[in-house]
Amino acid sequence: MYFGGNTMQKNTTDSAINKETIQKLKKFQKPEQPNILTKFIVLFLGSSSESMKQIRAALRSNNDEKISEIAHSLKSSSNYLGALTFSNYCDQLQKLAESENATPSSITEIVNHLETEYIQVVKELEEYKKDP
């Protein structure tokens, strides 16, 4: 990964999900119990899908406070599952939305990056869900 301008850019060879984080989560699995990783993934995918819709709605209504709130929540949950680039975009979005220098175009730029990364995160988490 490298940083360009105000937004973090991602190399195309990078995985959206940190494999080490996934391995650490797998260590919490108890024998004879439902798959904990799958449970975390299902919870994240359900809540994050709605959060991404809410970010777009808040962007349309210029509600920076709501954008910051949602980005903060997404930052934590995505980091927990190893979606580190996505989490970093959430952090940038949260900070920008709280900044007096925020403009609709600067927020839109980060939201666009966030949405692109989210597609990859979902794709990779769905694979982990199939083969935990």
Model confidence over 67-103: pLDDT tens digits? Answer: 999 999 999 999 999 999 999 999 999 999 999 989 9
Task: State the pLDDT confidence band at 116, using cuts at 50, 70 and 90.
Answer: very high
Q: What is the pLDDT of residues 49-71, one digit of tens each?
A: 999 999 999 999 999 999 999 99
Top-confidence residue, 8 or 29 = 29
How does pLDDT run across 10-47, given as a tens digit for each residue? 434 479 999 999 999 999 899 999 999 999 999 999 99
Residues in Cβ contact with 75 at an 8 Å cutoff, skipping those fewer than 6 apart: 87, 90, 91, 94
Residue 74 has a pLDDT of 97
> Residue 30 to residues 27, 78, 80: CA-CA distances in angstroms?
8, 23, 19
Residue 52's contacts (CB-CB under 8 Å, 6 or more residues apart) are 74, 114, 115, 118
What's the Rg (C-alpha) of the chain? 15
The predicted model scores a pTM of: 0.86
- The pLDDT tens digits of the residues spanning 104-113 come to 999 999 999 9
d(CA 62, CA 64): 6
What span, in angstroms and rounded, lies between the C-alpha atoms of 114 and 100? 21
* Residue 61, SS3 per DSSP: coil
Indicate the DSSP class of residue 1. Answer: -
Instruction: Assign 132 a pLDDT band (cuts: 50, 70, 90).
Output: low
Phi and psi (nearest 5°) for 30? Answer: -100, 145
What pLDDT shows up at residue 8?
46
The pLDDT value recorded for residue 7 is: 42
Q: How many CB atoms lie within 10 A of CB 82?
A: 23
